[in-house]
Every structure is written in structure tokens, then in C-alpha cells.
Amino acid sequence: MIFLVDHNLEGHALLLSGYIASLGWLDLLSIRFLTFEALALPITSSDRNVWRFAQKNQMILLTANRSIKDKNSLEQVMREENTSTSLPVVTVGDADRILTDADYSNRCVDRLIEIVFDLDEYRGSRRLFIP
């Protein structure tokens, strides 16, 4: 599974990826974290374009701060365009804690692994919060 990492979570995703690798999950699951830069996706892209890009490319968007502020906000896009087969958006509840709290980071990893294992059960659910 590929996670599209929102531009403000790049360092966070690097830490999560390290935890996933150190716990041996990469021996069982294919999990990658890709940045906007790696995909040539401008960080100025609207939430609508980011969500559509993730869905088109079968990626789970990992974010922390996309909200409902206008007609192209992530929440509004999900309300309008989500289907029963859409991949969920994973939202980190407290991004700063990933950088400072190993227990919190491990709980985030546990939840990400659970989501990947049971992905079909989460399709269409719009947004999932971690941990």
C-alpha cells in the first residue's frame, strides 16, 4: 500500500516508516510513503486535486490538517466524491506527538498496519483518525 504523505508530514512519515521497518512489517506487507515532491505533485495543489490524485493512483492520503474551509476543502471533497470503493484518508490526531512520543508513534504504526491489513473494510469510510 502506498501512502501519499501530505507535505507537512514528511518528517513524521519518515519516522513512522522507520518504526514499521524496525518492527519487521515490511517482511509481510508492502508499505511505502511517497511525498508530493517524489510524485511531482505541487504542494499548492487544492485538496480536491490531492484527493483525486490519491484515489486515481490507489493511494491512502496521510494528512494532519486538511479541513472544511471552502468548496475544495478535503472534507467537502470527500462528502461530494466519496464512493463505497474510495480509499480512506488517514488523519494524524496529533502530528507533533509523532516527533516527541515514541509510544504515540507506535500506536500510530499499529493503526496504520491494521488499516492496511483490513483495507477493504475501510473503503468508503472517508476519514480515519490515528492513533
pLDDT of residue 69: 73
Predicted TM-score (pTM) of the model is 0.94
Query: How many CA atoms within 13 Å lie on the side-chain side of 19?
Result: 21
Domains of the chain: 2-130 (3.40.50)
Residues 45, 61: contact at Cβ < 8 Å? no
Rounded (to 5) percent helix, strand, coil in the chain: 50, 15, 35
Q: Looking up cell 516527541, which residue turns up?
A: 100
Q: Give per-residue pLDDT as tens, 25-59.
A: 999 999 999 999 999 999 999 999 999 999 999 99
| Angstrom distance (rounded) from CA 105 to CA 108 | 5
Tell me: pLDDT of 66 over 70: no
Q: Give per-residue pLDDT as tens, 90-125.
A: 999 999 999 999 999 999 999 999 999 999 999 999
Proportion of the chain above pLDDT 70, given as a percent: 98
